[in-house]
Amino acid sequence: MGNKLVQNDVLLEGLNWRYATKAYDPTKKVSDEDWATIEAALTLAPSSFGIQPYKFFVITDPETRENLKAAAYGQSPISDASHIVAFAYKKTLTDGDIEHFVDRIAEVRGVSKDTLADYGNVMKGSAKRAVDGGYIETWNSRQAYIPLGFLLQTAALLGIDATPMEGFDAGKVNEVLGLTDYSVVVLAAVGYRDAENDWLAALPKVREPIENIIVRV
Ligand SMILES: Cc1cc2nc3c(=O)[nH]c(=O)nc-3n(C[C@H](O)[C@H](O)[C@H](O)COP(=O)(O)O)c2cc1C
């Protein structure tokens, strides 16, 4: 058996407790320790080959938050949550990016770059096919949703609220954050719910019955 760290009921309690929080208590901030754990979870998400073709912009500056809120149709979590994370994918993947990744493997695992040459070429081939085939942005942007999932689950298990958000004008958010080589694909607000002022806080979660969603083959 594996290394079971969480009891089933505890895990499901956390996932049922979380919801896409609409109103945050602006006076409650995520502690440094909890925030460091959330950042670590973001970086521990898997990605294709492990290339991590994204960056996470952690936004706490109030003025930047106001500008982001305007680009996100005035959604209040943007200004009221403790932290905002913008998930931005890399718009291309170059040989240089792959070489950087190969250097990093060599450094972390203490192996020579020569032993990684074939693997590097496989990755360069995949990247080139994606660039030439016009799907590099699709590929890279999909990767960014995996850390989003890690964030949502990690926050839930720490008793921290979070809201995934696609409701924004990406061009405007990129402008606010000064992004050129990266493009924002999704935002997450993270903080503590203001349950009294959140219309969604007390409503039951709506999901399809499990048998409509899980197909057992
Ligand atoms: C990719 C994505 C984008 C979303 N965009 C928004 C958004 O812009 N604003 C918002 O209030 N909720 C947003 N949601 C929240 C969903 O409406 C919510 O997760 C869904 O209805 C399920 O409910 P629950 O998260 O409360 O369980 C988004 C969720 C996802 C996964």
Residue-wise pLDDT tens for the chain (217 aa)? 789 999 999 999 999 999 999 999 999 999 999 999 999 999 999 999 999 999 999 999 999 999 999 999 999 999 999 999 999 999 999 999 999 999 999 999 999 999 999 999 999 999 999 999 999 999 999 999 999 999 999 999 999 999 999 999 999 999 999 999 999 999 999 999 999 999 999 999 999 999 999 999 9
Q: Is 201 part of any domain?
A: no
Query: Which residue range is the domain that position 169 belongs to?
Result: 22-93+137-195
For residue 93, report the distance from its CA to the centre of ligand 1, in Å.
29
199 vs 149: CA distance, rounded Å: 24
Q: Is 130 part of any domain?
A: no
For residue 128, report the distance from its CA to the centre of ligand 1, in Å.
34
Please give the pLDDT value at position 1: 73
How many structural domains compose the chain? 1
Please give the pLDDT value at position 184: 98
Burial of 50 (0-12, 13-18, 19+ CB in 10 A): exposed
For residue 20, report the distance from its CA to the centre of ligand 1, in Å.
5
Give the tokens for residue 116: 């990684």
For residue 131, report the distance from its CA to the centre of ligand 1, in Å.
30
Half-sphere exposure of 188 (CA within 13 A, CB side): 28
Burial of 179 (0-12, 13-18, 19+ CB in 10 A): middle
Residues 140-154: pLDDT tens digits?
999 999 999 999 999
Q: Is 107 part of any domain?
A: no
For a pocket test of ligand 1, which of 165, 193, 198, 205 has the largest count of ligand atoms closer than 8 A to its C-beta? 165
Q: Identify the residues whose C-beta falls under 6 Å from ligand 1.
A: 19-20, 22, 75, 163-167, 186, 205
- CATH number of 144's domain: 3.40.109.10
Q: Is 160 part of any domain?
A: yes
For residue 186, the one-letter residue type is V
Atom of ligand 1 nearest to the CA of 19: 26
For a pocket test of ligand 1, which of 161, 163, 185 has the largest count of ligand atoms closer than 8 A to its C-beta? 163
- Cβ atoms of 141 and 89 within 8 Å: the answer is yes
Q: Is 87 part of any domain?
A: yes
Q: Is 4 part of any domain?
A: no
